[in-house]
Amino acid sequence: MHVKTISGLDKLIFDNRFVKELPADLETKNYRRQVMKSCYSYVLPAQVKEPTLVAYSKEMAKELGISHDDCSSKQFTNVFVGNEFLSGMKPYAMCYGGHQFGNWAGQLGDGRAINLGEIVNQREQRWALQLKGAGATPYSRNADGLAVLRSSVREFLCSEAMFHLGIPTTRALSLVLTGEHVVRDMFYNGNPQTERGAVVCRVAPSFIRFGSFQIFTSRGEIDVLRQLVDFTIRTDFPHLVKNDLKLDKQSYIEWFTEICTTTAEMVVHWQRVGFVHGVMNTDNMSILGLTIDYGPYGWLDDYDPDWTPNTTDADERRYRYSQQPEIALWNLLQLANAIYPLVEEEDPFQRALTTYNQHFNQEWQSMMAQKLGLKQFSVENDGGLFKELLTLLPEVEIDMTIFYRKLANINFQNEGLTDKQLIEPLVDAWYRFEAVSDDYQSRFVNWLRKYTERLRNEDASPEERKKRMNTVNPKYILRNYLSQLAIDKADKGDFSMVNELLEVMSFPYDEQLEKEEYAKKRPDWARNKAGCSQLSCSS
Ligand code: AMP
Ligand code: MG
């Protein structure tokens, strides 16, 4: 008798609360349409010819209770490309809308993301699994529902890099090549190319976005809006549910206030590491304050607050680095408008939005103090120090990550240093130090003198201070050009650099002496190269 062994994957427990408790689209045929009065549509992933596993995240697998052996199995590749189902899976695509670049865009939805279901792990944590690039859904509009290797490598690596940097984010379990081809016109300039198709399995406690609520309000479907709000609070914000289990206006406001807070914290983290999301549309804002939808994102190399990697946004630069905090607030205002029908009072929303500003400012100042290695700080005394530095940094190309990392090496105890000796530990951070003017250098040194004097007023040893600074100023970030090098190799069938970057970015605050090359400044060839400094939404 043949006894089928039960693999670790078969033991995953799906509870699928989202589909169990929320209204489904009654149409089950898979064609593009407007889906009314429903939170999702049932849809199956497309079957692919020849899937190959490129990489997986050990940490994410462990979190889900999937062993290393299970990840190496053919079944794992098949399941996480969408070719095979585990018992309990109930695939669906979510309905949502959104403001894109400031304009209401109507229904968007999971056009190329298919949720497999939600599992509950041994620690009773809920994780939704979602395949990105697994084929068309009712929300695919005029697109194909697929994803190419380059954008999938970027999403996979960045999700995990952000996690290890300690930044709230959706996660990535796996990256699988489909063995099929996808046609993309990368810069929308009449040059379509055939690219390799891929599927990333994304993981998060919830994939609900600001736009998930907006769609119902925009259509006047307030009963569904209420169902989704109540579901979200009960599932993901259980601490807001009172003893009598009833949700009321007060609960909705407390909930919204918490979203303001978590969103503020997420953006402070982005500003800390120089992450530019690139497409902060309201459909790309997670209700849990997670970084979501890794598309044309980028990392600041030289500190340029006006920079955005997204070529689609090149003129207006709506989503540039310096404007991210303001855009998050604008998005929260759109969310407030969406929830308003459940509260019908403006003042509490205004107060919550004020909380965003207050919380953001407070967290931002404390983050800046930590980046500079200050133990205590006061806005009155230290505000000027931050401001002066942030005026100096964009003037001459200086690498943001290297600058803050090296700042920990400044000699602040010896008051008798010459200008040259004082600035020496930082010289490598400038892209062309030899071209830096005398005037700029002397203003910089002037700032350093104020800064070191400030440090001398604190009771901290250089070693202790350095240790502290190294926990907030990463040495390794997923520089745009590094991803591009890994993509170029992966395109030729060599996945080694994808896996190498995954490993290096798992310890972004450690020295990793043998990995110095990944901590270097952007090389000159990458300055204006597609994929390295400029990215389109095409993916
Ligand atoms: P994004 O810019 O990735 O946030 O996508 C905006 C909307 O377009 C979402 O509804 C996506 O699901 C959808 N979308 C993006 N790319 C594709 C694609 N290749 N096929 C179908 N829908 C897509
Ligand atoms: Mg999106």
Distance 146 CA to ligand 1 centre (A): 9
Distance CA 27, CA 538 (A): 30
Q: How far is the CA of 312 from the centre of ligand 2 (A)?
A: 15
Residue minimizing CA distance to atom 12 of ligand 1: 111
Task: Output the CA 283–ligand 2 centroid distance in Å.
Answer: 6
Residue 120 near residue 165, CB atoms below 8 Å? no
- Nearest 5°: the CA angle 111, 115, 119 is 165
pLDDT recorded at residue 3:
56
pLDDT at 6: 66
> Ligand 1, atom 6: nearest CA belongs to which residue?
108
Our answer on whether the CB atom of 537 is closer than 6 Å to any ligand 1 atom is yes
Residues 75/84, Cβ–Cβ less than 8 Å: yes
List the structure tokens of 210: 């600001």
Percentage of residues in the chain having pLDDT higher than 90: 93
CA of 539 to the centre of ligand 1 (A): 9
Predicted local confidence at residue 219, as pLDDT? 98
For residue 44, is it left (φ>0), alpha (ψ between -120 and 50) or beta?
Answer: beta
Instruction: Say what the pLDDT of residue 534 is.
Output: 84
Q: Which two tokens stand for residue 204?
A: 């998060």
Contact at 8 Å (CB) between 194 and 181? Answer: yes
pLDDT category, 452, cuts 50, 70, 90? very high
Average pLDDT over all residues of the chain: 96
| 3-state DSSP helix/strand/coil % of the chain, to nearest 5 | 45, 15, 40
Beta strands per DSSP E along 1-96 = 40-42, 52-56, 92-94
Give me the pLDDT at residue 5, please: 60
Residue 382 CB coordination number (10 Å): 18
Whether 101 is in the pocket of ligand 1, judged by its Cβ within 6 Å, is no
- Indicate whether residue 424 lines ligand 1 (CB < 6 A): no
Mean pLDDT of the 83-104 span: 97
Q: CB of 145 closer than 6 A to ligand 1?
A: yes
Q: Are 169 and 241 in contact (CB under 8 A)?
A: no
Q: H-type helices in 461-495, by residue range?
A: 462-469, 480-491
Which residue has better confidence, 463 or 537?
Answer: 463
Q: Does ligand 1 lie within 6 Å of residue 109's CB atom?
A: yes
- Res 381: pLDDT: 87
Q: 242 CA distance to ligand 1 centroid (A)?
A: 38
Neighbour count for residue 390 (Cβ, 10 Å): 13
pLDDT over 70, % of the chain: 99
pLDDT digits (tens, 9 = 90+) for 170-220: 999 999 999 999 999 887 889 899 999 999 999 999 999 999 999 999 999
For the residues 124-151, what does the mean pLDDT come to? 97
Mutate to test the pocket of ligand 1, among 40, 141, 146, 149 (most ligand atoms within 8 A of CB): 141
Alpha helices in 237-248 (DSSP H): none
Cβ atoms of 168 and 262 within 8 Å: the answer is yes
- Distance (angstroms) between ligand 1 centre and the Cα of 112 equals 6
Catalytic residue among 25, 110, 283, 304: 283
Residue matched to tokens 């004082």: 422
Which ligand does the CA of 147 lie closest to? Answer: 1
pLDDT of residue 2: 58
Task: pLDDT band for 393, please (50, 70, 90 cuts).
Answer: very high
518: which residues sit within 8 A by CB, 6+ positions away? 476, 482, 501, 504, 512
- Please check the confidence at residue 268 and state whether its pLDDT lies above 70: yes
Closest among 141, 264, 288 to 210, alpha carbons compared: 288
Measured from the alpha carbon of residue 109, the closest ligand is 1
Hey, what are 211's tokens? 């736009």
Local confidence band at 8 (pLDDT 50, 70, 90 cut-offs): confident
Nearest ligand 1 atom, CA 96: 10
Q: Whose CA is nearest to atom 13 of ligand 1?
A: 111
What pLDDT, on a 0 to 100 scale, did the predictor assign at position 538? 82
- Ligand 1 pocket test, candidate residues 104, 110, 140, most atoms within 8 A of CB: 140
**For residues 409-414, average pLDDT:** 95
What is the atom index within ligand 1 of the atom nearest the CA of 295? 3
The answer to whether the CB of 209 is under 6 A from ligand 1 is no
Is pLDDT of 136 > 60?
yes
Concerning whether 283 is annotated as a catalytic residue, the answer is yes
Q: Output the CA 182–ligand 1 centroid distance in Å.
A: 15
| Residue type for position 47 | Q
Angle, helices 347-371 vs 462-469, to 10°: value is 140
Question: Is any ligand 1 atom within 6 A of the Cβ of residue 279?
Answer: yes
Ligand whose nearest atom lies closest to the CA of 297: 1
